[in-house]
Amino acid sequence: MRSFKLLDRLLGRNAEPFVPGAHLSALSSKMEAGQCWIVPEGAVVVPSPPEPKYPEAERIAASIRDFPEDWGWERKGYDLVHIPSGFRLWVANEDYGLAEVHPNNGKTDFTKPEQAIIWPAVADWLGHRKVGFTGRLPKATITGRRGTYWCFAQEHPWAGVGSSPAEAYRIWKFAISVEARVDISPGEYLQLRSVKL
């Protein structure tokens, strides 16, 4: 655009319809911060969005909200892990606060304003992943060798040991279910083993 046409446009001498943004490119190339500029009548000036004060907290909260399937438990009930990157987030206690967990198990705490940004997303993630108690025992596996039978399940750290499959299951059931313990005879001993080291 020739400078005379721009000057005519700025002074209102031209009757051409104004197209927002069409003539501003000539001005924007010479604009500098802190200087005063005349903008054509009818131009819409939009302020740039403010820079976030806590960009890391915003990114973490957005990731938890928008891609919840990318997050899982590293240690159930203690810290979440962002599976693609390995980033770990301590979430065990809201009063204690949120922290980034390092590979050596050290932690860097987030500030209170950062926690205020991240906690709602974490609380929503935790709320959607709660599994209520159904009252049914999980599916157990029973194995045996030389007259000794073992009963265990992947979700529980205990194995019941007995001389028959029914006895091994009964002992395992007593170990993991409070409701099943009402059937224990007084003075009866249970043979349990830990299946996790």
At 146-183, the pLDDT tens digits run: 889 988 887 777 788 888 998 888 888 887 776 776 67
- Determine, yes or no, domain membership for 133: no
- Percentage of the chain beyond pLDDT 90 is 2
Shared domain for 10 and 42, answered yes or no, is yes
- Residue 55 pLDDT > 70, yes or no? yes
Residue in the structure block whose two tokens are 């005519």 = 8
- pLDDT-based confidence at 33, cuts 50/70/90? low
Shared domain for 40 and 62, answered yes or no, is no
31's CB contacts (< 8 A; 6+ apart) are 37
**Three-state DSSP class for residue 34:** coil
- pLDDT-based confidence at 18, cuts 50/70/90? low
Does 139 or 194 have the greater pLDDT score? 139
Shared domain for 62 and 37, answered yes or no, is no
- Determine, yes or no, domain membership for 136: no
Determine the pLDDT at residue 149: 92
Q: Which domain holds residue 13?
A: 1-46
- Determine, yes or no, domain membership for 115: yes
Shared domain for 66 and 116, answered yes or no, is yes
- Determine, yes or no, domain membership for 188: yes
Shared domain for 123 and 149, answered yes or no, is no
Q: Indicate the number of domains in the chain.
A: 3
Q: Which of the listed residues 103, 128, 153 is the one where a domain comes to its end? A: 128
Shared domain for 2 and 33, answered yes or no, is yes
Shared domain for 145 and 165, answered yes or no, is yes
Q: How large is the average pLDDT for residues 62-87?
A: 86
Q: How large is the average pLDDT for residues 117-144?
A: 77
Q: Where are the alpha helices (DSSP H) in 51-195?
A: 55-66, 112-128, 165-176
**Three-state DSSP class for residue 151:** strand
Contact 18, 40 (CB under 8 A): yes
Q: Where are the alpha helices (DSSP H) in the chain?
A: 3-11, 24-28, 55-66, 112-128, 165-176
Q: Which of the listed residues 79, 99, 128 is the one where a domain comes to its end? A: 128
Shared domain for 42 and 60, answered yes or no, is no
Q: How large is the average pLDDT for residues 106-135?
A: 79
CA distance 47 to 122: 32
Q: Which amino acid is at 171?
A: I
Shared domain for 13 and 72, answered yes or no, is no
- Determine, yes or no, domain membership for 186: yes
Q: Where are the alpha helices (DSSP H) in 95-162?
A: 112-128
- Determine, yes or no, domain membership for 165: yes
- Determine, yes or no, domain membership for 135: no
